[in-house]
């Protein structure tokens, strides 16, 4: 039983504010408008969700495929149908008993082409620091002679000028009228009035911005960006005026009931996440808000954050790894070592090397700015003056590399929380071991500065530079971790590639049911209304792709033999350029996406592999592609798809693993939909969907076909295939949540593990005020169950009373029951207490 009074008030919406029971995420775009979603509402209502979860809807940069590159906070994107279409969707949803949740992006705006699409940024480029919007953007006006760096040139400025690629033009700028502009191909920039008649070189120098070679951004950028994406400029929502201006429309939609809740993109990028969330809670009247926060290891949400919880990455990897067989770790490690040379304990070293490459490359501009701040502080204080630029830079680099999470949470002027102190000091201990003893004193100074302590002259704890260093270091930590680990190391580590997921913990190869139950029980107390998910627009592989990959751990010896056979048949066409890590990624990707219908298309595979090897940055990158290497990789992949021997081998593997995949797919889904939290279903994943990293995971979904399939099941037809079975499990679990909502999101809801005799069963109940109302039984590691000859006489202890399995539509008596007859039709059971 869970005592609801133990849940922190900050984790609960205000009284009377709607709370989703479940959500269905849709990826809006030109091929899925708001009116298109309105047409899907009847299906979504029948599916059982309570809220439609919308990707960003504010006007984005021209051609945006995702909406996270916002250019106008006051407008619903015309490409999606505008405000009128959003109102129509809200009416349709409310008429069907559904609500709306919206994904918003407070951290950054786009630097679009042409820039005038972002009117505030156009104003800043027109007027510089005197623009009324100058406070909107996180620009270092003291750097670059006060000019905003615009790194958009394809070559150095001298070469561009020599080729006459810059020219003046007269255009009618929307919202600004006719004016003289400086044009570079498709890029258009404002010309400062009064400089139009100057010689071109002098004109270029007189502007409030500096046009530069795109590579300059990695070393001299003077505005904060989203990670290393120069086309996304950070927004200073810590300024109350900027917050109000950028949130007015969204808050009005919450106030008038169009929206019921919000998902906040990347709060760790903000200067003061806790302050932002407190302001948002007050402005929204305590609306349900979840945050895209990646928690590393056992890290907890900061206690002072006003949020219901995370978007569910912390649950995603735990649920997934509960369905991974720990017994397969050693054998899969041996296969990896044979192909790649990596040992099973090599991931920390790979992650460290990747982070070091990031701070020395794409994020060096951020490191340089941190060093400039620290050096300025030391230069102005006689007691700190002997700490040199190089010493400070060395210490900052090692701290960033050593940091084990996205950030600590230190607010200038406030005492650093104990956890933040521990995190920074632990990173400092690791960093010191990698530095010469001579740097120890500088590291001590830097740690004190980053924690806002008194250091240097007596009484000095605050100041513009000191405060900025505290904040900017934390913002940079997240960028280094995201780019170094998730966007680099995760593409290099191949022990079991399905573990390399956003927010994931690949070092924790597998978890036990007890591990999962302990986490779920804790979540029920500290964050019962956060989100759970298995697939998002950010996941590197869909839940079904990862389920197929997880089965490798259940059959590690057979997998090793398959890899050997695939290597043998592909030897004639595998180029010597193809390295072991990429080759092993290829074989696992094929296994993870090979269905009874065969492989994904060659084009989809090629697009994924191109992204994966460029993100890995070992042989080719986005900025410096190696055509020969990429040709070798893609050539081997296409030949493998055409190789009849390889196709037969992989088809046989799919057949061999079909039962285990079925159990993993249905089991992870049922568990995700019934553990504590608000359950999210990503579009299309109510049936098996094998997709890879974006944009592959944003492919259109045929909702009409899904509606027809669901109608047939609702009419009493039995499931014919795994798609039917997963849709059955998903729809029935969502409907149970909706009908017995008090057991899932009510103040008296609880999570109760149930006793069982086999480690291959996962069992628990959802309770209301301690009384079990729903029980879940799921098969874990079905291949092992099969090897053991079935369930034999294993049992599970259901709560006493009469139950109804909504999946097999039959009564079940409570008490100690045998697992075999309970799971004779499906590898999962969802039991609801029978009405007396």
Per-residue pLDDT at 235 exceeds 50: yes
User: What is the rounded CA–CA span in Å between residue 674 and residue 774?
Assistant: 9
Check residue 226 and give its pLDDT: 61
Report the mean per-residue pLDDT for the chain. 95
pLDDT band with cut points at 50, 70 and 90 for residue 540: very high
Token pair in block for residue 82: 């505008």
User: What is the rounded CA–CA span in Å between residue 248 and residue 254?
Assistant: 10
Q: How far is CA 563 from CA 305, 558, 571, 572, in A?
A: 47, 9, 12, 15
CB 325 within 8 A of CB 340: no
Q: Which residue has the tokens 């999570």?
A: 751
Token pair in block for residue 655: 């057949």
At 288, phi and psi to the nearest 5?
A: -70, 120
Angle, vertex CA 749, rays to CA 801 and CA 90, nearest 5: 120
Q: If you average pLDDT over residues 684-703, what whole number do you get?
A: 96
- Is this prediction's pTM over 0.85? yes
CB 324 within 8 A of CB 553: yes
CATH topology of domain 29-103+237-291: TIM Barrel (3.20.20)
| 29-103+237-291 and 115-234 have identical folds | no
Q: Based on the number of CB atoms within 10 Å of its own CB, is 659 exposed (0-12), middle (13-18) or buried (19 or more)?
A: middle
Q: If you average pLDDT over residues 582-595, what whole number do you get?
A: 98
Check residue 145 and give its pLDDT: 63
At 141, phi and psi to the nearest 5?
A: -70, -10
Element housing 830 (H / E): strand 828-833
Where on the phi/psi map is residue 797: left (φ > 0), alpha (ψ -120 to 50), or beta? beta
Check residue 620 and give its pLDDT: 97
Instruction: Tell me the pLDDT tens digit for each residue of 189-226.
Output: 999 999 999 999 999 999 999 999 988 888 887 777 66
Instruction: Tell me the pLDDT tens digit for each residue of 324-371.
Output: 999 999 999 999 999 999 999 999 999 999 999 999 999 998 999 999
pLDDT band with cut points at 50, 70 and 90 for residue 807: very high
User: What is the rounded CA–CA span in Å between residue 255 and residue 1?
Assistant: 35
Per-residue pLDDT at 5 exceeds 60: no
Token pair in block for residue 138: 């996180």
Instruction: Tell me the pLDDT tens digit for each residue of 244-262.
Output: 999 999 999 999 999 999 9
Where on the phi/psi map is residue 809: left (φ > 0), alpha (ψ -120 to 50), or beta? left
Question: Which residues pair with residue 831 across a beta bridge?
Answer: 775, 805
At 520, phi and psi to the nearest 5?
A: -65, -40
At 759, phi and psi to the nearest 5?
A: -70, -5
Q: If you average pLDDT over residues 726-734, what whole number do you get?
A: 98
User: What is the rounded CA–CA span in Å between residue 392 and residue 370?
Assistant: 9
User: What is the rounded CA–CA span in Å between residue 439 and residue 435?
Assistant: 6
Q: If you average pLDDT over residues 84-99, what whole number do you get?
A: 98
User: In 10 A of CB 172, how many CB atoms?
Assistant: 8
On whether the 115-234 domain is CATH 3.40.1190.20, my answer is: no
For residue 484, the 8-state DSSP code is I
| Helices of type H across 683-771 | 703-714, 722-739
Of 424-433, 459-468, 616-625, 730-739, the poorest mean pLDDT is in 459-468
Check residue 4 and give its pLDDT: 45
Instruction: Tell me the pLDDT tens digit for each residue of 741-800.
Output: 999 999 999 999 999 999 999 999 999 999 999 999 999 999 999 999 999 999 999 999
User: What is the rounded CA–CA span in Å between residue 454 and residue 150?
Assistant: 37
Check residue 219 and give its pLDDT: 81
CB 809 within 8 A of CB 790: no
User: In 10 A of CB 701, how many CB atoms?
Assistant: 19
Per-residue pLDDT at 140 exceeds 70: yes
In three-state secondary structure terms, 531 is strand
CB 517 within 8 A of CB 571: no
Of 43-52, 168-177, 418-427, the poorest mean pLDDT is in 168-177
Closest CA to 581 of 412, 339, 235, 766: 339
pLDDT band with cut points at 50, 70 and 90 for residue 487: very high
Per-residue pLDDT at 573 exceeds 90: yes
CB 785 within 8 A of CB 760: yes
CB 125 within 8 A of CB 185: no
Domain parsing of the chain, residue ranges: 29-103+237-291, 115-234, 352-486
Check residue 652 and give its pLDDT: 98
Element housing 681 (H / E): strand 678-682
CB 679 within 8 A of CB 617: no
Closest CA to 316 of 132, 486, 499, 555: 499
User: What is the rounded CA–CA span in Å between residue 349 and residue 352?
Assistant: 5
Largest Cα span, the chain:
91
Question: Which residues pair with residue 150 across a beta bridge?
Answer: 211
Q: If you average pLDDT over residues 103-107, what whole number do you get?
A: 96
pLDDT band with cut points at 50, 70 and 90 for residue 836: low
For residue 67, the 8-state DSSP code is S
């Amino acid at each position: 039983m869970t005592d609801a009074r133990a849940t922190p008030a900050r984790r609960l919406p205000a009284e009377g504010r709607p709370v989703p029971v479940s959500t269905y995420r849709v990826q809006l775009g030109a091929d899925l408008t708001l009116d298109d979603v309105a047409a899907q509402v009847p299906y979504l209502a029948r599916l059982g969700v309570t809220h439609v979860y919308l990707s960003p809807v504010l006007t984005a940069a021209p051609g945006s495929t995702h909406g996270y590159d916002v250019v106008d906070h006051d407008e619903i994107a015309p490409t999606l149908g505008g405000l009128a279409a959003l109102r129509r969707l809200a009416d349709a949803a409310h008429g069907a008993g559904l609500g709306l949740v919206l994904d918003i992006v407070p951290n950054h705006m786009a630097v679009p082409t042409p820039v005038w699409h972002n009117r505030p940024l156009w104003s800043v480029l027109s007027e510089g620091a005197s623009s009324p919007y100058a406070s909107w953007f996180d620009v270092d006006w003291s750097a670059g002679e006060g000019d905003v760096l615009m790194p958009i040139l394809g070559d150095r400025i001298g070469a561009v000028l020599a080729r006459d690629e810059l020219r003046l033009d007269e255009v009618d700028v929307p919202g600004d009228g006719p004016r003289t502009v400086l044009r570079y191909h498709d890029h258009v920039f404002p010309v400062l009035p009064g400089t139009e008649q100057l010689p071109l070189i002098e004109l270029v120098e007189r502007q409030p911005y500096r046009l530069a070679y795109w590579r300059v951004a990695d070393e001299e950028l003077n505005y904060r960006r989203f990670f290393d994406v120069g086309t996304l400029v950070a927004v200073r929502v810590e300024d109350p005026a900027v917050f109000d201006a950028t949130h007015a429309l969204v808050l009005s939609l919450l106030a008038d009931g169009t929206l019921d809740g919000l998902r906040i993109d990347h709060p760790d990028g903000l200067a003061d996440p806790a302050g932002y969330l407190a302001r948002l809670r007050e402005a929204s009247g305590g609306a349900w808000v979840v945050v895209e926060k990646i928690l590393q290891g056992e890290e907890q949400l900061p206690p002072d954050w006003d949020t219901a919880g995370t978007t569910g990455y912390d649950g995603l990897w735990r649920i997934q790894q509960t369905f991974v067989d720990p017994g397969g770790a050693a054998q899969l490690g041996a296969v990896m070592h044979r192909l790649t040379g990596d040992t099973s304990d090599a991931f920390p070293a790979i992650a460290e090397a990747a982070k070091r490459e990031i701070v020395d490359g794409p994020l060096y501009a951020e490191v340089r700015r941190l060093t400039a701040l620290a050096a300025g502080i030391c230069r102005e204080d006689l007691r700190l003056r002997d700490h040199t630029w190089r010493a400070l830079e060395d210490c900052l680099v090692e701290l960033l590399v050593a940091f084990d999470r996205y950030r600590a949470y230190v607010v200038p002027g406030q005492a650093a929380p104990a956890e933040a102190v521990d995190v920074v000091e632990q990173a400092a201990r690791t960093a010191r071991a990698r530095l010469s003893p001579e740097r120890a004193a500088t590291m001590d100074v830097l740690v004190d500065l980053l924690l806002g302590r008194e250091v240097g002259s007596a009484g000095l704890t605050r100041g513009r530079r000191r405060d900025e260093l505290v904040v900017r270091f934390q913002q940079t930590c997240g960028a280094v971790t995201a780019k170094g680990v998730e966007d680099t190391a995760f593409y290099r580590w191949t022990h079991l590639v399905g573990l390399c997921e956003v927010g994931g913990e690949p070092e924790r190869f597998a978890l036990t049911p007890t591990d999962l139950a302990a986490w779920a029980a804790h979540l029920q107390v500290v964050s019962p209304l956060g989100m759970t998910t298995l697939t998002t627009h950010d996941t590197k592989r869909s839940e079904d792709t990862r389920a197929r990959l997880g089965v490798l751990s259940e059959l590690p010896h057979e997998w090793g033999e398959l890899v050997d056979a695939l290597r043998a048949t592909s030897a004639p066409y595998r180029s010597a350029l193809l390295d072991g890590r990429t080759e092993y990624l290829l074989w696992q990707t094929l296994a993870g996406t090979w269905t009874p219908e065969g492989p994904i298309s060659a084009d989809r595979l090629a697009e994924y592999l191109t992204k994966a090897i460029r993100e890995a940055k070992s042989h080719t990158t986005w900025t410096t592609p190696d055509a020969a290497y990429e040709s070798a990789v893609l050539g081997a992949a296409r030949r493998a798809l055409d190789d009849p021997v390889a196709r037969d081998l992989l088809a046989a593997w799919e057949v061999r693993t079909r039962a285990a995949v079925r159990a993993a797919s249905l089991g992870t889904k049922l568990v995700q939909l019934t553990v504590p939290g608000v359950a999210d279903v990503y579009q299309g994943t109510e049936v098996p969907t094998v997709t890879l990293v974006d944009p592959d995971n944003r492919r259109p979904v045929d909702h009409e076909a899904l509606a027809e399939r669901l109608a047939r099941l609702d009419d009493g037809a039995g499931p014919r295939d795994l798609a039917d079975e997963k849709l059955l499990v998903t729809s029935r679990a969502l409907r149970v949540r909706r009908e017995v909502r008090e057991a899932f999101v009510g103040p008296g809801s609880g999570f109760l593990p149930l006793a069982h005799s086999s480690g291959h069963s996962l069992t628990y109940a959802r309770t209301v005020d301690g009384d079990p109302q729903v029980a879940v039984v799921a098969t874990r590691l079905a291949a092992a169950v099969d090897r053991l000859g079935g369930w034999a006489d294993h049992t599970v202890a259901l709560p006493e009373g009469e139950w109804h399995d909504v999946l097999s539509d039959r009564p079940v008596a409570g008490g100690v029951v045998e697992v075999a007859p309970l799971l004779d039709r499906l590898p999962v059971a969802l039991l609801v207490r029978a009405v007396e």
